Amino acid sequence: MSRWTFVLLALAVTACTTYKLWSETDSDERAGMIQLSYEYRRFENPQVDDRGGNDLAKERCLGWGYVGARREGEENKCLDGTKSDCSKWRVTREYRCVKGK
């Protein structure tokens, strides 16, 4: 077995699937903005419930009197290290509340 094959096999064995939940990290009722995020570490393979995040944002917007929420964007930010050698990441999604007619 070559050295690289061994390294790739070791990485495959150590990478594990982890289930992550979105949590609210920022909100502004007047602006109708909500940010949800989750964090993961190197070698984790995060599986996220996108529908759960959408529902969480929609519920918050409904509580403020809006009719729903629209996803605006997503940012992946390295929290520990550099983008090319990062050991901890934060994924943040921003939602805007939708006004009724």
pTM: 0.79
**How many whole angstroms separate alpha carbon 4 and alpha carbon 90?**
30
Of the listed ranges 3-12, 30-39, 41-50, 81-90, the one predicted with least confidence: 3-12
Yes or no: say if 69 and 59 are a contact pair by the CB < 8 Å rule.
no
What one-character-per-residue DSSP string does 32-83 give?
A: TEEEEEEEEETTEEEEE-HHHHHHHHHHHHHHTT-SEEEEEEEEEEEEEEET
- Which helix (H) or strand (E) segment holds residue 9: the answer is helix 3-14
Confidence of residue 1 (pLDDT cuts 50, 70, 90): low
Average pLDDT, the chain: 89
